[in-house]
Amino acid sequence: MKADDIWKISTGKGVTVAVIDTGVSRIPELEGQVVQGRDFSHGYEGDERTDYKKHGTGIAAMIAASGKHPSGDGSFGLAPGSKILPLRLSEGGGGLRHMQSISEAIRFAADSDAKIMNISFGGPGGSAELDEAVSYALSKGNLIFYSVGNDGAGANEVIYPSGSPGVVGVSAVNPSGGATDESQHGSHVDIAPGVDIRARNRILMECSGQP
**Distance separating alpha carbons of residues 185 and 158, to the nearest angstrom:** 9
- Give the Å distances, CA to CA, from 183 to 10, 15, 54, 129, 203: 29, 29, 21, 27, 22
Query: Looking at the DSSP assignment, which residues form a beta bridge with residue 123?
Result: 160
Per-residue confidence (pLDDT) for residue 72, from 0 to 100? 85
- pLDDT recorded at residue 30: 96
pLDDT confidence bin for 196, thresholds 50/70/90: low
Can you say whether the dihedral through the CA atoms of 135, 169, 98, 27 is positive or negative? negative
pLDDT confidence bin for 200, thresholds 50/70/90: very low
Confidence of residue 31 (pLDDT cuts 50, 70, 90): very high
pLDDT at 166: 85
Beta-bridge partners for 171: 191
Whole-structure pTM value: 0.84
* 3-207 maps to CATH 3.40.50.300: no
54-58, 91-95, 138-142, 161-165, range with the lowest pLDDT? 91-95
* 164 in Cβ contact with 187 (< 8 Å): no
Residues 6+ positions from 106 with CB-CB distance below 8 Å:
20, 117, 119, 130, 133, 134, 136, 137, 144, 161
Rounded CA separation 153/160 (Å): 17
Which residues is 160 bridged to in the sheet? 123
Q: Are 150 and 182 in contact (CB under 8 A)?
A: yes
The domain segmentation of the chain, as residue ranges, is 3-207
Q: Taking residues 146-170, report their average pLDDT.
A: 72
Could you report the per-residue pLDDT of 44-80, keeping only the tens digit for each? 899 999 999 989 999 999 999 999 998 888 889 999 9
**In whole angstroms, what is the distance from residue 110 CA to residue 116 CA?**
9
pLDDT band at 148 (very low <50, low <70, confident <90, very high): confident
Rg (CA), the chain: 16
Quick one: angle between helices 56-64 and 198-207, nearest 10?
A: 140
In this predicted structure, the answer to whether residue 210 has a pLDDT above a threshold of 50 is no
Average pLDDT over residues 10-24: 97
